[in-house]
Amino acid sequence: MRFLLFLTGRHRTPLINRVLGLLLAFNAGAVNAGGFLVVHMYTSHMSGFVSTLADNLVLGNMTLVLGALGALLAFTSGAAVTAIMVNWARQNQLRSGFALPLLLEAALMLVFGLLGAITLTWHTLFSVPLTVLLLAFIMGLQNAVVTKMSSAQIRTTHMTGVVTDLGIEIGKMLYWNRSGTLPAAQVRANHARMRLYGSMLGMFTLGGLVGAAGFKHIGFIWIVPLAAGLLALSLPPLAADLERLRVIWRARVSRRPHLHS
């Protein structure tokens, strides 16, 4: 319990950020791959949606334009909600700032797991099922959590930046420093970063395999264990903040104007 409190608590260290980043990379890979089997879209890939929007604006396919716009707005909204939650918790001196959006993500994943088949038939103004918008919102929530907790050093819902950074470090490792080059001028790979980026890529891939297999053989309900894992991460800091939340609630209630008969 104490370890889980540290993982999503207010006080961050590089090690805690790496561990949480790896766990969430696994979760994102599972949701992304499993979601593709359901809605035939990778709902964490905003670059693809931007390209879809631009291409189909030119081609005049407004149905696909609306779908891409809906996914972009949902992802952006998820990131914005995370920022609101984290900053509200910070201003109220809570330890659960990063746990709050993860709790919301877990709840929405449970909705997807329990009602996913139904939401596939709920069409929206954006010409895509509600499921697509829900998954994009979830990925926006999660990506913003990791971005804020690691000061934008770690991303978990897409691997483009991770693979790029890994390639840069590999290039440094393979670089030939000529003899006589001063040590300060030599090109050296950062092996700690290489391990981090390689681990992130591996966990995302493993999550994708597990998620795809689960959705293929079990169905929507497979996401429930993933949601339970997020609940386990988010509840300890929230439990530690219960008394502080009661104080905040009492203070807000006491400031409300009372009606006198």
Classify domain 2-255 by CATH architecture: Up-down Bundle (1.20)
Q: Across all residues in the chain, what is the average pLDDT?
A: 84
DSSP for residue 220: G
- Per-residue tokens: 122: 């709920």
Query: What residues contact 99, with CB distance under 8 A and at least 6 apart?
Result: 8, 9, 233, 234, 235, 236, 237, 238
Query: What residues contact 122, with CB distance under 8 A and at least 6 apart?
Result: 129, 130, 131
212 touches 34 (CB < 8 A):
yes
What is the three-class DSSP state of 43? Answer: coil
- Per-residue tokens: 194: 């290489």
- 179 phi and psi angles, rounded to 5 deg: -60, 140
In three-state form (DSSP H/G/I as H, E/B as E, the rest C), the secondary structure along 112-152 is HHHHHHHHCCCECCCCCEHHHHHHHHHHHHHHHHHHHHCCC
Residue-level pLDDT at 261: 43
Closest CA to 48 of 87, 26, 29, 75: 75
Q: What is the pLDDT of residues 160-186, one digit of tens each?
A: 888 999 999 999 999 888 887 788 888
Q: What is the pLDDT of residues 69-124, one digit of tens each?
A: 999 999 999 999 999 999 988 888 887 788 899 999 999 998 888 877 777 777 77
Domain boundary assignment for the chain: 2-255
Closest CA to 24 of 167, 234, 254, 173: 234
**C-alpha to C-alpha distance for 123 and 131, rounded to whole angstroms:** 9
DSSP for residue 40: S
Residue-level pLDDT at 70: 93
pTM comes to 0.84
Query: What residues contact 139, with CB distance under 8 A and at least 6 apart?
Result: 28, 31, 32, 43, 44, 75, 78, 157
Q: What is the pLDDT of residues 185-241, one digit of tens each?
A: 888 889 998 999 999 999 999 999 999 999 888 888 888 889 998 988 888 888 877
